[in-house]
Amino acid sequence: MKRVLYLLSLCGSILLLSGCWDRLEINDLAIVTAVAIDRIDDKTIELSTQVIIPKNLSSGNGQAGVGQQSSLTIVRSQKGKNIADAISKLQTKLPRKIFWGQCEVYIFSEELAKKGVKEQMDFLLRHPQPRERAYLFVSKIDPKKILELSTPIERYSAETIMGLSDFRFSMQVNLQSFEATLTSQANAAAIPLLEIQSAPKNEDSDQSNRLPAIIGTAVFKKDKMIGQISERTTRGVLLLRNEQKEFTVTLKSVDRKGNVSLYPVLLRTKLVPEIQHDKWKMLVKVKANGAIVQNGTDLDYSNELLKKKLEKVFQEKIKDGIEQSLKEVQQNLKTDIIGFADEFHRTYPKQWKKVENHWDEKFPTVEVKIDVDANIRRQGYINKPGAIPEKEVRNK
């Protein structure tokens, strides 16, 4: 009896062993690197996928061989009622199974973004394959054209777009963060805005000289795009959100002709909400330490008096950038993509309940005070320029 029970348990355990019946070989997959979604009409969207051609990738370092740059990927498109419908139709046109696990770029057309991306986000977040850390973009032009670009620097356009986003000179938005901001207290979000950068007129206008470029930011209220802001305004918003970690500032020199360029080595922003007598206020505290990376003047900024004057100009430059961004976002668009709502909700939960249903009306009335502490920690010179005498500095 013991032997029988032993054999039965052994046979039963075999059923629990994993197998390879549902394996997916890479040779059987059509690996998608980027997706573009456009709106045709109220009932139809167009889905375009950038798919890698494995045989055109070298087996050594993964780089394209000479003359193979334009054929590392192919773009295939299909129309449908929604993304799921378009994918099912697209699958019938490809000899391999479509695989989304390596897709890191999703581009919405501007027309689709203005109508709303709720349905598209529902699929991308519900389907098990799309990565939640894949980047999101909005395109001013037909997004399929961006996928079709043959970029001269990277292997394909998706890699170029990812590289632009990684530098953090613009918003860095993925599926996960976009969903989080849309469901935040302000119900507002922002996505980088793409366009194709054309070659200069005196150069060859061949497609290989054209690159995708981030030209600003698309602003969303709930799931619909309501406007856009420029690159300059975006930098101010990034600073307010404490996401601007580094940038170069060029200032007019103190008392002399020429410019001085500073590279901040430390940049930190803190939002401090305050409610007094039913007046909502926000204190923006900015701490910046910079180093001189280029001095185009004859002034010696190791001199304490000159350094103080330059620090004041540095402070005003940062303050002006923040004020201009606030004017565009708070007064013109009236959409809180900065995060004021979350700060007030966190600090004053009871008072927040009174305004949460009409925050769009309250946000433009919030009084903002900007406190910038900007210092120059290093002069960054090798040899001192022809220094202005200290006596002359004191007399100015």
In a domain, 284, yes or no: yes
What percentage of the chain has pLDDT greater than the value 90? 54
Q: How many structural domains compose the chain?
A: 2
The CATH number for 304's domain is 3.30.300.210
Residues 310, 347 within the same domain: yes
Instruction: Please state, in angstroms and rounded to a whole number, the distance separating the CA atoms of residues 340 and 155.
Output: 40
In a domain, 85, yes or no: yes
Residues 373, 258 within the same domain: yes
Average the pLDDT over each of 18-27, 127-136, 142-151 and give the range with the smallest value.
18-27
Residue 277, SS3?
coil
Residues 77, 220 within the same domain: yes
Cβ atoms 96, 24 nearer than 8 A: no
In a domain, 91, yes or no: yes
Tokens of 252: 């007019």
Residues 171, 46 within the same domain: yes
In a domain, 10, yes or no: no
Residues 254, 112 within the same domain: no
Residues 184, 53 within the same domain: yes
Residues 223, 260 within the same domain: no
Residues 281, 360 within the same domain: yes
Residues 93, 203 within the same domain: yes
In a domain, 240, yes or no: no
Cβ atoms 283, 271 nearer than 8 A: yes
Residues 214, 113 within the same domain: yes
**pLDDT digits over 358-390, tens only?**
999 999 999 999 999 999 987 765 545 544 444
Which of 185, 202, 229 marks a domain boundary? 229
**pLDDT digits over 67-98, tens only?**
444 478 899 999 999 999 999 999 998 989 99
Average pLDDT over residues 330-355: 94
Tokens of 265: 């080595």
| First-to-final CA distance of the chain | 107
Average the pLDDT over each of 149-163, 213-227, 381-395 and give the range with the smallest value.
381-395
What DSSP character marks residue 265? E
Nearest to 28 by CA among 91, 114, 117: 91
* Per-residue model confidence (pLDDT) at position 17: 63
β-strand pairing of 73-80 with 97-99: unpaired
In a domain, 16, yes or no: no
Instruction: Please state, in angstroms and rounded to a whole number, the distance separating the CA atoms of residues 76 and 48.
Output: 6
Cβ atoms 191, 220 nearer than 8 A: yes
Average the pLDDT over each of 17-26, 109-118, 131-140, 186-195 and give the range with the smallest value.
17-26
Residues 110, 164 within the same domain: yes
Residues 121-142: b if buried by 16+ CB within 10 A, e if exposed: beebeeeeebbeebbbbbbbeb
Q: Give the side-chain half-sphere CA count within 13 A for 108.
A: 31
Residues 105, 51 within the same domain: yes
What DSSP character marks residue 24? -
In a domain, 8, yes or no: no
Q: What is the dihedral of CA 144, 149, 153, 159, to 10 degrees?
A: 20
Instruction: Please state, in angstroms and rounded to a whole number, the distance separating the CA atoms of residues 254 and 308.
Output: 10
In a domain, 235, yes or no: no
- What is the extent of the structural domain holding 46? 26-229
